[in-house]
Structure 1
Amino acid sequence: MGIKVGIIGCGSIARLRHAPEYKDNRHVEEIVFFDRNFERAKELSKQFGGRAVEKVEDLYNDPSIVAISDCSSNDAHHIYSTNALLHGKHVLCEKPLAISVEYAEKILDAQRISGKKLMVDHNQRFTRAHQKAKELIDKKELGEVLTFRTTFGHRGPETWGVDKTNGTWFFRKDRSFTGVAGDLGIHKIDLIHYLLDDEVEDVHAFHGALDKVNELGKPIEVCDNVVCALKTKKGRIGTASFSWTYYGSEDNSTTIYCQNGIMKIYQDPNAQLRIEMKDGTVIKYELEPIQTNENQTKSGVIDSFVDAIIHDKEPTVTGEQALATLRVIEKILLS
């Protein structure tokens, strides 16, 4: 007997990631869709063989629905995720967990009250190259980590969103709030926390709306570029850049500089993890290409979330971990 799940928000992230991965999971027997635009919900229900509901309360009040994916816009996460948890549902929330630390803490309070599982979709933890890199770092195969450099940039959400328009909610302050920092940057901050088993503590950053315009041709209300210097609690220092204006191929790469060599992650298309040792030795790991907007591959997030529910395990990315990452994004935007 499988479980029934709900999806709130039927945009691109639901259509390309959540819905197909739930459909492919053998433990999931039905997906129930809700969107403020009922036609979108109906469209996904036809595409993935589920059903659509007109009111979000129909998800909350259905005792047969065990878990909900919150794929709404950033400004609504603290509403939908909190209500879902308080109605006894396990929740997988899209990133960022909320538009502010204050709102994120409300979601965590709801999770503690409900006793249900809260997982956040920081999917970079699931790639084989990042997992192998973490294994080598944990074993100190290259000695201690000293510094790091990470970036995530592509052509912008107007090329990815469901409507493919400059009117995308990602460009609106009242719905996005965090711009590229909360869209792409939050992934890389979480990745650094994961790889280094550490937390960014100090931030110096520049950010701005350098090129993107809205549907009226005016500069967008949130940042489209961020460049920052970071220092962790354990004293590692590094740089990070996040952009919606990389008008070529997507860049989702990371370099970890250690005492005895360098790790280059997702820089060589034929060796997703490349190790360059101090003595000149080069070790190449051919693992898997990273998921991009143009190359939608299975993320592993849904399988991990369902597994945590079925086997009553702690989620791979907890609410507390997502909150720690959001604290850094807030510091970046206030810097």
Structure 2
Amino acid sequence: MQKPLATKVAETVKYLRALWPRLEGRHRFVAFSTGKDSLAMTAMLYEAVEPEKPICLYSHHGLEFPSNLEYLGELKDRGFAVSVVNPFLGYFDLMERGISFLTRKNPWCVPMLVGTGMLEWLQAQGARSPRKAVMFRGMSGSEYSHKFHTRLELYKRLDLPTFNPVLSFTTEEIIEVIRRRYGLPPNPIYEHMGRTYCICCYTSDARRQEYSSRHFPEVCVRYYGQIEHMLFDSGLLDKAHLLPEHRTKEEKLGRHGFVHWNRIKAQNVVGAVKRRGRSGSLVYRIRETSWINAKHLQPVKGKWSIRGTEIRFWDLDEKKADALIKRMINC
């Protein structure tokens, strides 16, 4: 039998209130998407631990709606502790460098465009590894993939312990919690689409594409132009074992907007996190020791050192250092 909403909320708040002090000593934060699920979850967390205001991290990049920042300003005025982080590299930077492609089953956008900014923030807080942190994530029963998640899990692509407190809530319940219990405004972007994902997204639908192409035509032309080039101009699609109806532009661009293509496993996770040393050096922490291969660093011989899982560069242009690290972990 379905529990009354008031009971579900009370139980969730009670759970969060008991959980919070047990996580003392860890770097605790909310992964805030500006969507309704993360808003409801954060409101319940704030009620549970008041007067404390846990930090909400929002990762903003070139494919995010600019209006999200205005919405965050409104939430800040209402007492939300929101901090904006930025990714290691932007979407088009990654594409131009050949770092990653969009994939149907393993989208790299979450770890690469969202995760890197959060990991750099954790490093700045003094976290020695993602395992020393805890992420609170708003994922409700409205998410198609919610059945594959549990209340506590390890978010493997970031190697980050994660709590999902609102998995049992439906979309209707989330909206009622936001509006009636907490009196909060949902993101205005919901007036134009059902989800608060990016301007262009691998799960895009016709309604989102219509809105985005009208308001952000240059971004859409560039985004879908790259996909069209990779699929149709390259001949890649002709080599795929697909039925004719699954090779059309409507199927690949108009309906979905993503590429059915997968590269290597290393790019489905964050492979390295960068920080700047006090002396101006660049320090990259590599995810796995086995990914470190000094032969890829030989072009700048004498300007780097390796210690454990860290590679340190000095007197080297940052773009060149980025390229060396990306090539190393993706080859």
Q: Which has the larger radius of gyration?
A: 2
Same fold (TM over 0.5): no
Q: TM-score, normalised by structure 1?
A: 0.29
Point out the structure with the larger strand share.
Answer: 1
Q: TM-score, normalised by structure 2?
A: 0.29
Point out the structure with the larger helix share.
Answer: 2
